[in-house]
Chain A
Amino acid sequence: MGRMLRELPATARALTRAAKRGCTSPAGLAFALVAALAFALASCSDEEPAKRVDLTKRVEITAPGAPEGVTYAYLPQYSHAISYKRHRGLVDYLTRATGIPVRQVFPATFDEHVNMVARGEIDISFSNPFIYTRLAKLGSRVFARIVEPTGEPYFRGQIICRRDNRAIRTLADCRGKHWIAVDPFSAGGFLFALGLFHDNGIARSDFAEVAFAPGPGGSQEKVVMAVYAGTYDVGSVREGTLDLLKGRIELDRIRVLARTRAYPGWLYSARRGLDQDKVQKIAKAMFKLSMKDPEAAAILSTAGMRAIIPARDEEYAPILDLVRRLGLEDGRP
């Protein structure tokens, strides 16, 4: 269009010259004007340059093989992108700090995560304590755990309902109700609550329905949203989830019915057979991260933790005990 605008004055000048020569009748002038307009409009449809590409030259492609190095996986309770976003900094740090190429891999589900550990495709696993009970059976051993954003190396579960649900006053009222939990393998979002109900004499079968939040990523928030919307009567989330939704929903319409006891938090475990030297190096690098160091603080905050501290398998005895009490030893909820 700009080219057209540039050309119009030139066309007008040509027309004026023609009119001055007196060789243009009024009708001819009108036609010349139309022709000039048409020309100007046609000239503004200038084609952008096309790059010549020969589509006939074909090759068969071959997928690249997996690179070498220690694989690092985050239990996929969020999408791969979020997992990547949260842990990329830490993975990069570990690579830099240890000199060992650490590569993050992304299992699609909890089961796949466990299976990949079993197949040796995941060397360092960052999982919740419930999954760890399964991994431990596969020979994985915990070597570190994180300090929660609350500042404690523990976390709890919460049972919530709508504040206007008059049918539910106590845990006992939950009998016969519809319960939505985060995931069958979620510790804070299902296992802890199930233990609490169990301790209060409410079995899983006492509920009219036990449902789990659909799809990957943000499952904790989905539970809150389902209760908030009234789709389910009660919900179970890990402590701190409600704060994530502050400003997006009216939190005062949600009532925390009960909170579970505190359990040790998320942990790092090394698969069976992983070179202990590498484990030590990685553990050492992890322990060096401190919130006092801005760079380290950024890495920690992005990963959703305040620090990584040493851990031993015994610290997870309460979890094992809970699993045992609930009859979930076979790893199937």
Chain B
Amino acid sequence: MTSTLRFRTKLNLGIITIVAATALVLALVISQVAARALEDESKRTGSVLVENLSMRAAEPLLGGDLLRLKDLVDELPQVEENILYAFVTDDSGRVLVHTFQGGFPVQLTTANTTPEGRGVAIQLLDTGQELVYDFAAPVLVAGDRLGSVRLGLTRQKVLSVVNRLLWAVYATAGTAFVAALLASTYFAGRVTRRLNALRCHAEEIVRGNLDHQAAPPVYRNCWEVLDCGSEQCPAYGTRGACCWHLAGALNPACKTGDCPGAGKTCDVCPVYLENRGDEIQELAETFDVMSRALKTHIEELRAAEARVKRQERLMRTVLDASPDQMSMVDDKLVYLAVNRTFSQALGRRPDEVAGLTSKDLFPPDDAARRDRDNLDVMRSGKPASREIPFFDGERDRWFHEVRLPVADADGRVIGLLRSARDITDMKEVQEQLIHSQKMESVGKLAGGVAHEINTPLGIILGYTQLLQEDAPEGGQLASDLAIIEKQAKVCRKIVADLLGFSRQTESAKLHMCFNNSVLEVVSLVQHAFSLDKVAIVTDMDDRMPIIYGDPEKLKQVWLNLLGNALDAMPEGGVIMVRTHLDTPRMQVTLEVVDSGQGIRREDLQKIFDPFYSTKPVGQGTGLGLSVSFGIIEDHDGSIRAASPAPEDLLRKARERAGILEDAVSGPGSILTVELPLDHTTEENEQA
């Protein structure tokens, strides 16, 4: 319960308790001692009186002078008001004289025993009304006992004196108590006010106000006391701080420089002697020193924190800016930090990943592989790198993984840094390079073979035609020759295509209208296509782009692309042909969108390969797209295929063709051709 009391109350209670206890004890002790002293004094008085009486009684006792004896006992109550009675007995104990009225109380004679020799016997008697000290002394003359004298001293008077004394003591104690209460209230108030000020100061510090001053301002500043004028001293001009709390103060009286805090030399320093306070003020000064030190430390810490944050931000920016997936795990394979690329690949925030393990982030197989690889590197302590394929749900991607062990100052491996770079595009380019090299080789081979075959094939065809002229019409021979001529022409077509693919045919380039070239082919095939329930819609760029190219060969390309689309739609569908001029890039684009069965992913890269065909044997040579590829390459353009076709284009095509959605059977595909607008680039390169 006491712990909830205010300090002021406790202080008051303490002082009051001490004063009250002291006053009580003092009152008790004094009253007891005084009562005892008074009783002792009373006994001494009684003893003196009775001894005096015994001496004075000797003469009249010897002389048998009862009158004088009576006078002696009668005058005693006049001498001492506390005397209740007195009487004298002879040596045989018979009462000679007494002070009682109306007979002598017979029990008194035996109530006390007179000592044999000198001395006084004191006996406390209880008369029923009061307590009486009975004193008995022998009347001795020359050692002979002539009789004895007795004297009764009432205790009532002694007690009344004691009571008066007690009242005086209690009144004094009460006054002291009240004075102590007032004084303690005053001093407790002073102390607690200052303590409260300190508490407020501490609360201000907790709130972060480190400029709050706890100690009262000094009476005179040290530079005023010393009149030193030393402005280089840290204490000079620093108000609210005592120089003995400032490290490096240049006070000449301070020889040891044992700041902060008052040292031995401060005891003789005039600044200290003038400004020093009591313990509470010293505490307040120490608080101020503490808050100043705290403020300094906090400012330094904040500066350091800002630096660290800036560094961290920079580092994070660098890491996050990196397209590589970067992660760091500790020796327990727990992720310590990852960059944004890594976390985005997981669909999480970077801070969510920290603290997790591979099992929390990846499928079990993948997680096990990663942990295994990580452990291998950490055990070996050697970096490792490799390329791994990864299917992201849509397509295969390739990553180049680098694992670097992270060691502490002792060389002990404490973690691992992993960096994974997406090299899918590079891989594709690489494959494309390989592919184009392959195409080039095939082209060269095919060109060479075709060139060599073309001459004998011409001879075969020539001689066949010569023989046809000689063979009778309708005969078996003419029929056989016709088959030879037909198949020879097929071969010549193949050879011509191969030569075209290998760009070994002559091209006749000129400025031509791109749209017209396309529309010419479309109108040529539109009717035939409609018979196969395939509608062709066009979306031409109305800016009518002009390109530099070989019209015939380009028409062959358009024809191949449309034919290819037709072949993809055995059940019918819609083909949309779009042209688009991209002025900034100085190129024109042709897109052929079909609603056919689409192209399988694995086929996309191969459809431009020579002799590659998905059609049944006998229905295609597999050279159509290869030849188109070769022609477009010859025009410094590019051709690519994608499947499925963009949904909006398909929808647009169906709307334009007026075909219901359920009539469309497949995802469709889109073949895109890009051709440069101007041929100057090519010419420049050639130049």
Contact residues of A with B, CB < 8 Å?
Answer: 25-27, 30-31, 33-34, 37-38, 41-42, 44-45, 47-61, 63-64, 66, 79-81, 83-85, 88, 105-108
Contact = CB atoms under 8 A, between A and B. Distances in A.
Interface centre among A37, A57, A81, A108 (most CB of B within 10 A): A81
A161 B18 CA distance: 75
B125 A50 contact: yes
Contacts of A52: 125-126, 128
B186 interface: no
A106 B21 contact: no
Interface stretch (B60-68, B412-420, B627-635): B60-68
Interface of B: 1-2, 13, 17-18, 20-21, 24-25, 28-29, 32, 35-36, 58-59, 62-66, 90, 92, 94-96, 98, 100, 102-108, 111-112, 123-128, 131-132, 141-142, 144
B344 to A, nearest CB: 65
B103 A58 contact: yes
Given A51-B123, A63-B66, A27 B25 contact: no
A88 B143 CA distance: 11
B105 A26 contact: no
A50 B131 contact: yes
Given A34-B24, A59-B106, A79 B90 contact: no
B142 A84 contact: yes
B63 A80 contact: yes
Given A59-B104, A80-B62, A53 B126 contact: yes
A49 B123 CA distance: 9
Given A26-B2, A81-B62, A85-B142, A59 B103 contact: yes
A329 B175 CA distance: 83
24 contacts: A25-B2, A27-B13, A30-B18, A33-B21, A34-B20, A37-B21, A41-B25, A48-B124, A50-B126, A53-B105, A53-B125, A53-B126, A54-B105, A55-B128, A57-B105, A57-B107, A60-B103, A63-B96, A64-B90, A81-B58, A83-B62, A88-B142, A106-B62, A107-B63
A50 B124 contact: yes
Contact of B107 (A42, A48, A54, A79): A54
Contacts of A48: 124
Given A27-B2, A81-B62, 10 more contacts: A25-B2, A27-B17, A30-B18, A37-B28, A54-B127, A58-B100, A64-B92, A66-B64, A80-B62, A84-B62
Contacts of A58: 100, 102-106
A45 B35 contact: yes
Given A53-B108, A81-B58, A81-B141, A64 B94 contact: yes
Contact of B126 (A51, A60, A106): A51
Given A30-B17, A31-B17, A53-B108, A106 B63 contact: yes
Contacts of A26: 2
Contacts of B24: 34, 37-38
Contact of B28 (A25, A38, A47): A38
B4 to A, nearest CB: 12
Contacts of B64: 66, 105-106
A41 B29 CA distance: 7
Contacts of B141: 81, 84-85
A42 B28 contact: yes
Contacts of A25: 1-2
A185 to B, nearest CB: 18
Nearest to A64: B94
A57 B106 CA distance: 6
B65 to A, nearest CB: 7
A51 B21 contact: no
A48 B36 CA distance: 12
Contacts of A37: 21, 24-25, 28
B139 to A, nearest CB: 10
A105 B63 CA distance: 7
Contact of A44 (B32, B66, B98): B32
Contacts of B112: 51
A56 to B, nearest CB: 7
Given A42-B28, A81-B62, A54 B128 contact: yes
Contacts of A42: 28
Nearest to B3: A25
A224 to B, nearest CB: 24
Contact of B124 (A49, A54, A79, A83): A49
B476 to A, nearest CB: 135
Contacts of B127: 53-55
A83 B58 CA distance: 12
A51 B65 contact: no
Interface centre among B62, B92, B125 (most CB of A within 10 A): B62
Nearest to A62: B94
Nearest to A54: B107
A108 B64 CA distance: 10
B105 A56 contact: yes
A108 B65 contact: yes
Contacts of B36: 45
A38 B25 contact: yes
Nearest to B59: A80
A144 to B, nearest CB: 24
A34 B25 contact: yes
B19 to A, nearest CB: 11
A45 B30 CA distance: 12
A331 to B, nearest CB: 23
Give 9 closest A-B pairs by Cβ, nearest first: A58-B103, A80-B62, A50-B126, A85-B142, A106-B63, A55-B105, A41-B28, A34-B21, A50-B124
Contact of A53 (B21, B32, B94, B111): B111
Contacts of B96: 61, 63
A35 to B, nearest CB: 9
Contacts of B106: 57-59
Contact of B94 (A30, A54, A61, A81): A61
A183 B123 CA distance: 46
A106 B131 CA distance: 39
A292 B238 CA distance: 114
B103 A53 contact: no
A106 B66 CA distance: 13
A174 B535 CA distance: 196
A126 B127 CA distance: 49
Nearest to A37: B25
A58 B106 CA distance: 6
Contacts of B100: 58
Given A45-B32, A84-B142, A51 B62 contact: no
Contacts of A66: 64
A54 to B, nearest CB: 5
A81 B59 contact: yes
A125 to B, nearest CB: 16
Contact of A79 (B1, B20, B59, B111): B59
Nearest to A302: B142
Nearest to A4: B32
Contacts of A51: 111-112, 123-126
B130 to A, nearest CB: 10
B504 to A, nearest CB: 113
Contact of A88 (B13, B104, B126, B144): B144
A260 to B, nearest CB: 32
Nearest to B104: A61
